[in-house]
Amino acid sequence: MKLIFATHNDHKLKEVQQLLPESIELLSLKDIQCFNEIPETGETLEENAKIKADFVTQTYGLDCFSDDTGLLVNTLDGAPGVYSARYAGEQKNAVDNMTKLLLELDGKENRQAHFKTVIHLNLEGVSYTFDGIVEGTITTEQYGLGGFGYDPIFKPNGYNQTFGELSSETKNAISHRGRAIQKLVNFLKNRTL
């Protein structure tokens, strides 16, 4: 089965490829010659995931899934949330985003947060949605060079290391994206049985 993942993000693509069975050939936007920056104009993660998948399906006529992920910090009323990738500006720089978040949390005791990923799948004319959540806390500084985005400052509950320090295998097994992708994989496997 060929499936388009509506992303230009090589880190995300690699992470998702590691989670999918070999029977699913994952193609990126580059693979279908889509170099457009699909605007994420939704006010929720669900809306943004749908916008991206629908763009590919309507423009290219291909089965597709997309995701949108946000980091939601309790004491900041869920910010950065849907604006996680561009929290510190349209340049979408991870270091800038982490720096801004750490400054906003400076001196705050409650550092609880969660990552949420929403996947929207368009398959054979029908749409499906899957999500995954992982709870954790925001550290006071960056730890580790692994992962991407906010990974070096997010420590999942039950672990003494951030996503930036954990192995990709461990992170994929417990992460928000890993959980959402696993729901997608289980759904696809059941369809092919």
Helix (H) or strand (E) holding 155: strand 154-156
Set 68, 96, 131, 151: catalytic member? 68
Contact criterion met (CB below 8 Å) for 78 and 112: no
| Contact partners, residue 75, CB within 8 Å, separation at least 6 | 105, 108, 110, 111, 112
Question: If you search the block for the tokens 């730890």, which residue do you land on?
Answer: 143
Annotation marks residue 151 as catalytic: no
The sign one gets for the Cα dihedral 150, 151, 153, 155 is: positive
DSSP label of 65: E
CB atoms under 10 Å from CB of 162, counted, come to 25
Contact criterion met (CB below 8 Å) for 189 and 21: yes
Strands (E), 10-141: 25-27, 64-73, 80-81, 112-123, 126-138
Q: Is the peptide bond before 21 cis (omega within 30 degrees of 0)?
A: no
Positions marked active-site: 68
